[in-house]
Amino acid sequence: MTETPTTSREWHLVARPQGWPEPKDFALREAAVPQPGPGQIVVRNVFLSVDPYMRGRMSAAKSYVEPYELGKPMLGGAVGRVVASAAEGFAEGDHVLHHFGWREYAAVNAKGAVKVDPEAAPLSTYLGVLGMPGLTAYAGLLRVADFKEGDTVFVSGAAGAVGSQVGQIAKLKGAARVIGSAGSDEKVRVLTEEYGFDAAFNYKNGPVAEQLQAAAPDGIDVYFDNVGGDHLEAAIGAMNVHGRIAVCGMISQYNATEPTPAPRNLAQIIAKRLRIEGLLVGDHYDLQQQFVEEVSAWVRSGELKYRETTVSGIENTVDAFLGMLRGENTGKMLVSLG
């Protein structure tokens, strides 16, 4: 067995954020590197994922997933290299995807780890374009939003890991028009010039409803929502009859300290016979194999492009998380542990 350190570092949540999380809500602590128990592997993490859903887990409020425990290591997607194994089918040197991120070394039950091949695709992609965000985009557009060839699709947060993939899959599947919103002029340029969106706008440059109307004068059939708030209201207003909305996230509300107003035009759901459905990727893992086969082929051919924003060092994980909430990333936000 390769010699490993006796201690490593891991991030703990030490206070539940009120509004925007602050560095003082987290603590980087040393912990012993465990030996694997029966059926376990010990993994040296190479890449950690930081994602919007993690903000919800910092609250004690009841939700679809258990909140992070105070004073305990945080959880999140990670890929790494097996350094010790007491589990059949896993050997030292294998690379795996698992959910014990926010730390340098992790003891993982082998049943909760999936082998990945660094020769088939870069390790980082298993946390992004070929990972949970990619499957979210694929299942959310094709199953939840019931995308049909010829649809006009609007995606908010379109320069992020999920949104950028939604728009590109829609184009590859025959969308008539794909529109995206993003938070900077540079991200708008990336959407139209690199990802092939037909139109995009910077939501900071004017009212979302007005900019969406200009980009989609004939209305939209599908809205993939990562933002909520004024984006959702604008999308309802622009929807054609029998439009479909997949609600993946509402990042505009995650750090609000006061209740935010719902869209003021909900009555249009009746007149337009709209369908709005929430999206949790955990409901759609039956599509995993189909998703990987189809999307990996698009990535290899260059038809589907992706970006990653990488921050180096375990000590900078909180900064990467906060930067992701502020929209400082283009594509998937990752932490590299080297």
- Please say which residue of 265, 282, 299 terminates a domain: 282
* pLDDT, mean of residues 168-174: 98
Reported confidence tier of residue 1, pLDDT bands at 50, 70, 90: very low
% residues pLDDT > 90 (the chain): 88
- 300 falls within a domain: no
Q: How many CA atoms lie within 13 A of 147 on its CB side?
A: 28
Establish if 204 belongs to a structural domain.
yes
Q: Which of 75-89, 146-160, 260-274, 303-317 has the lowest mean pLDDT?
A: 260-274
Pair 274, 139 in one domain: yes
Q: Which pLDDT score, from 0 to 100, does residue 324 have?
A: 94
- Whether residue 168 lies inside any domain: the answer is yes
Q: Point out the domain boundary residue: 246, 265, 282.
A: 282
Q: What is the mean pLDDT of residues 12-29?
A: 96
253 shares its domain with 324:
no
Q: Model confidence over 76-125: pLDDT tens digits?
A: 999 999 999 999 999 999 999 999 999 999 999 999 999 999 988 899 99
Q: Domain for residue 1, yes or no? A: no
Domain-embedded: residue 287: no
CATH of the domain at 63: 3.90.180.10
- Residue 332: inside a domain, yes or no? yes
| 21 lies in the same domain as 104 | yes
Cα–Cα dist 68/55, whole Å: 10
- Whole-number Å distance between alpha carbons of 46 and 80: 5
1-10, 42-51, 271-280, 283-292: range with lowest mean pLDDT: 1-10
Q: Which residues contact 317 (CB under 8 A, 6 or more apart)?
A: 11, 48, 50, 102, 311, 335
Query: What average pLDDT does range 275-290 have in this prediction?
Result: 94
- Strand pairing class (78-85; 95-98): antiparallel
Residues 60 and 117 in one domain: yes
| Number of domains composing the chain | 2
Residue ending a domain, among 282, 298, 323, is 282
Considering the domain architecture, whether residues 92 and 163 belong to the same structural domain is answered as: no
172 and 32 within one domain: no
138 and 277 both lie in a single domain: yes
Given a cut of 60, is residue 241 above it in pLDDT?
yes
The HSE-up count of residue 104 (CA atoms within 13 Å, CB side) is 21
Q: Report residue 283's pLDDT band, with 50, 70 and 90 as the boundaries.
A: very high
Condensed to tens digits (0 to 9), the pLDDT of residues 218-229 reads 999 999 999 999
**For residues 195-211, average pLDDT:** 97
Q: For position 164, what pLDDT does the model report? A: 96
Give the pLDDT score at 3. 63
Q: Answer whether residue 270 is part of any domain.
A: yes
Q: What is the mean pLDDT of the chain?
A: 94
166 is in which domain, residue-wise? 132-282
Looking up residue 177, the CATH number of its domain turns out to be 3.40.50.720
pLDDT band at 312 (very low <50, low <70, confident <90, very high): very high
Question: Do residue 181 and residue 107 come from a single domain?
Answer: no
Report pLDDT for 95.
97
Q: What is the pLDDT of residues 45-68, one digit of tens each?
A: 999 999 989 999 999 988 888 999
22-43 burial, b at 16+ Cβ within 10 Å, e below that, comes to eeebbeeeeeebeebeeebbbb
Verify that 120 and 146 share a domain, yes or no: no
Do 98 and 171 belong together in one domain?
no
Same domain? For 82 and 176 the reply is no
Do residues 179 and 254 both lie within one domain? Answer: yes
Give the pair of three-digit tokens for residue 330.
Answer: 């283009």
- 298 domain-assigned: no
pLDDT of residue 65: 84
